[in-house]
């Protein structure tokens, strides 16, 4: 018998899996960091949105992340609408005379009843009935009492009772004189004999109080107002008569009843309506009020879509709805929205927007569910990712040289300002579009490069650390641009016709075109150019090995297919050719760092400045070069954003983008090729956050928490390696950010 507690063969199976994981997991650390950040935020949602309820919290997390996926990449999985989706409404309609006009009213009541809580409504109703029958309080009196409970608690009931005679006497005097007297005495720290005598002369009841109590009363009157205090005192007396303390459950219920009120119906009226609806629902055997409210909202959507027409809700649901759902594809979307398509039998299809005819969604039916792709979400994600990818390249290039360029924010502003001037200035008016766009981008590159050169020169010639100098230059750049745009005497870059401070719009010839306006000939030409360039690179190998042509052909085809896909995705024509410039920039930076002498020297200086100096390389030159190129790339990112999106410049336009680029560079591990997925992830988080907030009713700040966690896990990757059992990197593979304060 074997001594091991495991069955024979377990060890031989576990070892290969473990070895495989050790081999493939190190490059996956950034991906694991993202997954860990998403998992860690789930407890936040359980504690906040779910209020500690694990099931509710997990439901919110599911809604949040599905909305994030749909809002960023456009991918969604939703069920087909089914008559059973409104089964509770049918039960209610068959047991009672439920008309279409009743649905909206009952849906609102059911929704608010679910939010308030059935037990709370029952208790509120009993309290209202008891106050009316036993104490003779009418509806108006109950509302007035509930309105003042919170104020009693905030001021303090004992404090109010102590000051009641004095405050009551003040309510009987002239309001203006009381206000002026309270303002005068509220500013005093103590009362002298003369001031006390004057106050006693004004209100004789003051004689019965200590000086500290008199000052407290005057400060209270000054802060709250004597009229308001009089009403609070009046209701406190009523509450004392009833025998309820302001902090009792009955008093809290009165305050909650008042809070239910709206402009049209007070809180007591709503409680009565809730009670009537509650009785009506229970008489039909319905216990899940929230589910009923949701189904009522869906029923209203079905009426609006024309899938139900009969005024009798039972007839509409029982006789009309099943046939109409069978005749067309109706997808049930979150928040009771519907996506309709006239063809029911299509497994694959496209839904077009009725107003402008653009593609709204592409779908694939999978049984009772539908997998959908909304191209406009992916379009927005790609558009937002462009500046992050290019700016991330800039930060990574600095890291490669052992420099921490934290000044991307300022370089963005300076580069974009250079670019926008070329874009709107009459000096460059009338230029052909291709030339005007090129000059604008070059101006942005020069502006960002010059601003990056400053800390590079300071580092090279004075030893000033680039972190300090780039941070300071950020503030200088932001305030400088703020002055250039806002200044009206002299007027430098301000557009006098604008309602808010901004530059003039750039000329149409300087605007980066959207992909919808790109001819198919250009896309095919780009693919053929890629094919020709790669074949030319492989010309020597092709003489002996024809198979070397496979890769160029594949890349050429990918460029053509990718170009047409991006053009198809650009349904709103918001995605511009800055995407192409971004891809070329990624290729250029990768080529520069890996294939050129300057790139090799730059990396060598970053790895070991002393060894580089010993080998004859100029550390000063490479320091200045690295930060100049880094600034130039950031300037390009800012100019593309102006030319392709905003088309004008305004103060604080790039708030946060430069600093986020540091996170993108860290996530990409300073690898230019990895910058594309890292930037797309960042763009996806920003793009999908709005829909996530709408669907899951959680704060937009959750995305910022996720981003912060990702950065933390990337910077302290030992946490990820421990959690996921990832082996330590080899010394040759470790990413060096900068050389620290002594570098």
Instruction: Among 289, 308, 334, identify where a domain stops.
Output: 289
Cα–Cα distance measured from residue 242 to residue 171, given in angstroms and rounded to the nearest whole number:
24
Confidence band of 355 (pLDDT split at 50, 70, 90): confident
- For residues 679 and 664, the answer to whether their CB atoms sit within 8 Å is yes
Question: How many of the other CB atoms lie within 10 Å of CB of 242?
Answer: 17
Does the structure show a pLDDT above 90 at 36?
Answer: yes
- 174 & 307 share domain: no
Same domain, 124 and 229: yes
Is 80 exceeded by the pLDDT of residue 43?
A: yes
* Residue 565, C-beta contacts closer than 8 angstroms, at least 6 positions apart: none
Choice among 11-25, 146-160, 182-196 with the minimum mean pLDDT: 11-25
Q: How far apart are CA 664 and CA 395, in angstroms?
A: 9
User: Residue 508 has what DSSP assignment?
Assistant: G
Name the nearest CA neighbour of 630 among 434, 435, 409. Answer: 409
Q: What is the pLDDT of residues 467-490, one digit of tens each?
A: 999 999 999 999 999 999 999 888
Per-residue DSSP letter, 576 = B
pLDDT at 2: 46
Q: Among all chains, which residue has been given the structure tokens 């007396």?
A: 237
Tens digit of each residue's pLDDT (9 = 90 or more) over 358-375: 888 999 999 889 999 999
Residue-wise pLDDT tens digits, 398-449: 999 999 999 999 999 999 999 999 999 999 988 999 999 999 999 999 999 9
Q: What percent of the chain clears pLDDT 90, i.e. is strictly above it?
A: 64
Q: Which of 289, 318, 334 is the last residue of a domain?
A: 289
Average pLDDT score over residue span 47-68: 88
480 lies in some domain: no
113 assigned to some structural domain: yes
Quick: pLDDT tens for 513-568: 999 889 999 999 999 999 999 999 888 888 888 888 899 999 999 999 999 999 99
- Which pLDDT score, from 0 to 100, does residue 15 have? 63
Contacts of 415 (CB under 8 A, 6+ apart): 444, 445, 446, 447, 448, 449, 451, 631, 632, 634, 635, 636, 637, 638, 639
Report the mean per-residue pLDDT for the chain: 90
Of residues 348 and 451, the one with the higher pLDDT is 451
Task: Tell me what the mean pLDDT of segment 449-463 comes to.
Answer: 95
Query: Could you read off the pLDDT of 253-263 as tens digits, one per residue?
Result: 999 999 999 88
Q: Answer yes or no: is 204 within a domain.
A: yes
Answer yes or no: is 63 within a domain: no
Q: How many whole angstroms separate alpha carbon 544 and alpha carbon 524?
A: 29
Q: Which residues are bridge partners to 327 per DSSP?
A: none
Mean pLDDT for the stretch of residues 95-109: 89
CA 712, 713, 714 angle in degrees (round to 5)? 90
Contact 578, 510 (CB under 8 A): no
Is it the case that residue 67 has pLDDT exceeding 90? yes
Write down the pLDDT at residue 257.
Answer: 93
Instruction: Give per-residue burial for 529-553: e unless 16+ CB within 10 Å, then b.
Output: ebbeebbeeeeeeeeeeeebeeebe
pLDDT in tens, 496-520: 998 899 999 999 999 999 998 899 9
pLDDT at 715: 82
What is the pLDDT, as a whole number, of residue 739?
58
Q: Can you give the pLDDT at residue 743?
A: 43
- Is the residue at 471 inside a domain? no
Reduce the secondary structure of 152-203 to three states and give it as a string: HHHHCHHHHHHHHHHHHHHHCCCHHHHHHHHHHHHCCCCCCHHHHHHHHHHC
- For the segment 181-194, the average pLDDT, to the nearest whole number, is 88
Rg, C-alpha atoms of the chain: 35
Q: Do 272 and 142 belong to one domain?
A: yes
Q: Is residue 240 part of a domain?
A: yes
Q: Are residues 162 and 149 in the same domain?
A: yes
Contact 114, 296 (CB under 8 A): no
Tell whether 284 and 297 lie within a shared domain: no
d(CA 630, CA 470): 12
Residue 686 lies in a domain: no
Its domain, for residue 537, covers 515-569
Give Cα 405 distance to the centre of its chain: 26
Find all residues with CB under 8 Å of 179, minimum gap 6, and list them: 221, 222, 225, 226
Shared domain for 129 and 228, answered yes or no, is: yes
Q: 272 and 188: one domain?
A: yes
Q: How many domains does the chain have?
A: 3
pLDDT above 70 for 231: yes
Provide the token pair at 6.
């495991």
Based on the domain organization, do 307 and 275 belong to the same domain?
no
Q: Minimum mean pLDDT among 46-55, 233-242, 263-272: which range?
A: 46-55
Mean pLDDT, residues 233-259 = 93
Helix H or strand E encompassing 425 = none
Q: Which of 373, 407, 430 marks a domain boundary?
A: 373
Rounded alpha-carbon distances, angstroms, from residue 172 to 164, 166, 222: 13, 10, 16
Say if CB 452 and CB 640 are below 8 A apart.
Answer: no
- Whether 173 is covered by a domain: the verdict is yes
Q: Are 147 and 269 part of one and the same domain?
A: yes
Percent of the chain topping pLDDT 70: 96
- List the alpha helices (DSSP H) in 191-246: 193-202, 211-224, 226-242
User: 577 to each of 186, 522, 582, 645, how far by Cα in Å?
Assistant: 66, 12, 9, 11
* Nearest CA among 83, 89, 116 for reference residue 103: 89
More confident: 346 or 373: 373
Question: What pLDDT score does 14 carry?
Answer: 59
Q: Assess whether 278 and 312 both reside in one domain.
A: no
* Same domain flag for 222 and 330: no
Residues 6 or more apart whose Cβ sits within 8 Å of residue 416: 444, 447, 635, 638, 639, 641, 642, 649, 653, 654
**DSSP code per residue over 100-138:** HHHHHHHHHHHHHHHHH-HHHHHHHHHHHHHHHHHH---
Q: Quick check: 265 and 273 in contact, CB under 8 A? A: yes
Asked if pLDDT for residue 85 goes beyond 80, the answer is yes
Q: Tell me the pLDDT tens digit for each residue of 563-605.
A: 999 999 999 999 999 999 999 999 999 999 999 999 999 999 9
Please say if the pLDDT value at position 742 is more than 50: no
Other beta carbons within 10 Å of 597:
8
Structure tokens at 667: 């996530």
| Average pLDDT, integer, range 131-153 | 92
Strand (E) positions, 455-509? Answer: none
Q: What is the pLDDT of residues 623-674, one digit of tens each?
A: 999 999 999 999 999 999 999 999 999 988 877 888 899 999 989 989 999 9
DSSP-derived letter for residue 496 is T
**669 Cα distance to chain centroid:** 25
CA distance 268 to 11: 71
**Mean pLDDT within 144-152:** 93
Supply the pLDDT for residue 738.
59
Task: Report the alpha-carbon distance of residue 484 to residue 489 in Å, rounded.
Answer: 10
Together in a domain, 160 and 306? no
Is 178 exposed, middle or buried (CB count within 10 Å of its CB: 0-12, 13-18, 19+)?
buried
pLDDT of residue 717: 85
Q: What is the DSSP string of 35-48?
A: HHHHHHHHHHHHHT
Confidence grade of residue 741 (pLDDT, cut at 50, 70, 90) = very low
């Amino acid at each position: 018998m074997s001594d091991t507690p495991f069955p024979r063969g377990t060890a031989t199976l576990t070892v290969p899996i473990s070895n495989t994981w050790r081999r493939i997991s190190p490059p996956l650390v950034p991906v694991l960091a993202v997954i860990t950040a998403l998992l860690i935020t789930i407890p936040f949602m359980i504690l906040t949105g779910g209020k500690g309820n694990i099931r509710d919290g997990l439901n919110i997390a599911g809604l949040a992340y599905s909305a994030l996926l749909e809002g960023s990449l456009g991918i969604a999985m939703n069920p087909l609408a089914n008559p059973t989706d409104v089964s509770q409404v049918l039960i209610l309609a068959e047991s009672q005379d439920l008309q279409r006009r009743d649905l909206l009213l009952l849906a609102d009541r059911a929704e608010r009843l679910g939010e308030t809580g059935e037990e709370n409504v029952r208790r509120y109703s009993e309290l209202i009935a008891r106050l009316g029958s036993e104490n003779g309080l009418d509806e108006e009196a109950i509302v007035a009492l509930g309105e003042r409970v919170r104020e009693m608690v905030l001021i303090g009931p004992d404090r109010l009772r102590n000051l009641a005679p004095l405050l009551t006497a003040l309510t009987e005097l002239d309001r203006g004189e009381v206000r002026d007297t309270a303002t005068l005495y509220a500013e005093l720290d103590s009362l002298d004999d003369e001031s006390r005598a004057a106050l006693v002369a004004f209100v004789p009841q003051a004689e019965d109080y200590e000086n500290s109590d008199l000052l407290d009363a005057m400060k209270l009157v000054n802060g709250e107002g004597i009229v308001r205090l009089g009403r609070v005192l009046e209701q406190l007396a009523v509450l004392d008569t009833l025998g309820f303390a302001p902090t009792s459950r009955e008093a809290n219920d009165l305050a909650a009843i008042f809070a239910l009120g709206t402009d049209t119906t007070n809180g007591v009226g709503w409680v009565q309506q809730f009670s009537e609806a509650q009785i009506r629902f229970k008489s039909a055997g319905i216990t899940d009020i929230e589910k009923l409210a949701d189904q009522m909202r869906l029923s209203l959507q079905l009426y609006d879509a024309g899938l139900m027409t009969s005024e009798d809700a039972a007839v509409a649901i029982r006789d009309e709805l099943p046939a109409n759902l069978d005749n067309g594809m109706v997808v049930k979307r979150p928040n009771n929205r519907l996506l309709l398509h006239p063809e029911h039998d299509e497994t694959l299809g496209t839904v077009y927007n009725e107003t402008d005819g653009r593609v709204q969604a592409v779908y694939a039916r999978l049984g009772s569910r539908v997998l959908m792709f909304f191209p406009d979400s992916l379009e927005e994600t790609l558009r937002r990712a462009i500046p992050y990818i290019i700016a991330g390249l800039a930060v990574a290039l600095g890291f490669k040289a052992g420099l921490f360029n934290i000044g991307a924010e300022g370089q963005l502003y300076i580069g974009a300002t250079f670019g926008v001037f070329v874009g709107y200035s009459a000096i460059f008016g009338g230029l052909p579009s291709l030339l005007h766009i090129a000059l604008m981008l070059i101006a942005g590159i020069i502006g960002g490069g010059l601003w990056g050169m400053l800390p590079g020169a300071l580092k090279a010639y004075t030893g000033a650390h680039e972190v300090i100098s780039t941070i300071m230059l950020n503030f200088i750049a932001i305030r400088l641009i703020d002055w250039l745009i806002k200044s009206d005497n002299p007027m430098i870059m301000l557009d006098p016709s604008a309602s808010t401070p901004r530059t003039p719009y750039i000329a149409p010839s300087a605007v980066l075109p959207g992909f919808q306006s790109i001819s198919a000939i250009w896309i095919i030409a780009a693919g053929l150019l890629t094919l020709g360039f790669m074949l030319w690179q492989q010309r020597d190998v092709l003489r002996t090995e024809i198979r070397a042509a496979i890769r160029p052909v594949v890349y050429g085809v990918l460029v053509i297919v990718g170009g047409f896909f991006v053009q198809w995705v650009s349904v709103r024509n918001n995605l511009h050719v800055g995407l192409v410039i971004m891809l070329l920039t990624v290729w250029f930076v990768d080529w520069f760092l890996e294939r050129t002498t300057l790139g090799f020297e730059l990396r060598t200086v970053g790895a070991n400045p002393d060894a580089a100096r010993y080998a004859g390389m100029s550390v000063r030159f490479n320091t200045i070069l690295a930060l100049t190129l880094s600034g130039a790339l950031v300037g390009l990112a800012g100019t593309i954003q102006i030319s392709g999106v905003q088309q004008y410049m305004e103060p604080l336009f790039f708030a946060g983008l430069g600093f986020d680029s540091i996170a993108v560079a860290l996530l990409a591990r300073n690898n230019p090729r990895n910058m594309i997925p890292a930037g797309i992830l960042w763009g996806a988080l920003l793009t999908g956050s709005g829909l996530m907030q709408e669907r899951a009713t959680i704060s937009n700040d959750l995305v910022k928490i996720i981003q912060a966690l990702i950065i933390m896990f990337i910077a302290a990757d030992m946490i990820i390696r421990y959690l996921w059992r990832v082996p330590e990197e080899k010394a040759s593979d470790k990413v060096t950010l900068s050389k620290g304060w002594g570098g």
